[in-house]
């Protein structure tokens, strides 16, 4: 076996400095490339695309929330319509002529007047009994 020769490695701080200089040169190249018009246009379009996507998500969410509110309000309206129709039926039942007449006779002691009890008052001021 032959003698092995080793190349001495540069000191540690020299390697660090060389790596830092390479990184600095590379970052300068990247930053100068980033300020070119096609790259700026691409970044602008990506920004507007992302903003548009977020806007679509927000609008979809608002649409769902408003649709749920609309459904709840329509259910509430239907309940009020059912209650209103039931109240109309109850009102017509309570205000039927025969029921009112029976209530007047039973509770208030009223009676339908006879023919001799009816008095017609003319517009002129004198009244007369209905004997016709």
Residue 72 lies in a domain: yes
Residue 38 lies in a domain: yes
Residue 85 lies in a domain: yes
Percent of the chain clearing pLDDT 90 (strictly above): 38
Show the domain range for 47: 18-112
The total of structural domains in the chain comes to: 1
Q: What is the pLDDT of residue 68?
A: 98
> Do strands 128-129 and 119-120 pair parallel, antiparallel, or not at all (unpaired)?
antiparallel
Residue 1 lies in a domain: no
pLDDT in tens, 59-91: 999 999 999 999 999 999 999 999 999 999 999
Identify whether the C-beta of residue 119 lies closer than 8 Å to the C-beta of residue 130. yes
Residue 100 lies in a domain: yes
Identify whether the C-beta of residue 90 lies closer than 8 Å to the C-beta of residue 96. no
Between CA 111 and CA 80 the distance in angstroms is: 40
């Amino acid at each position: 076996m032959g003698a092995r020769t080793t190349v001495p490695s540069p000191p540690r701080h020299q390697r660090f400095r060389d790596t830092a200089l390479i990184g600095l040169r590379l970052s300068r190249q990247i930053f100068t490339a980033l300020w070119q018009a096609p790259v700026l246009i691409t970044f602008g379009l990506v920004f507007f695309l992302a903003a548009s996507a977020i806007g679509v998500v927000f609008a979809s969410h608002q649409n769902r929330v408003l649709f749920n509110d609309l459904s709840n309000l329509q259910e509430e309206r239907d309940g009020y319509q059912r209650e209103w129709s039931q109240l109309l039926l109850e009102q017509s039942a309570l205000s039927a002529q025969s029921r009112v007449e029976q209530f007047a006779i039973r509770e208030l002691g009223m009676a339908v007047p006879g023919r001799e009890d009816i008095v017609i008052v003319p517009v002129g001021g004198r009244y007369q009994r209905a004997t016709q």
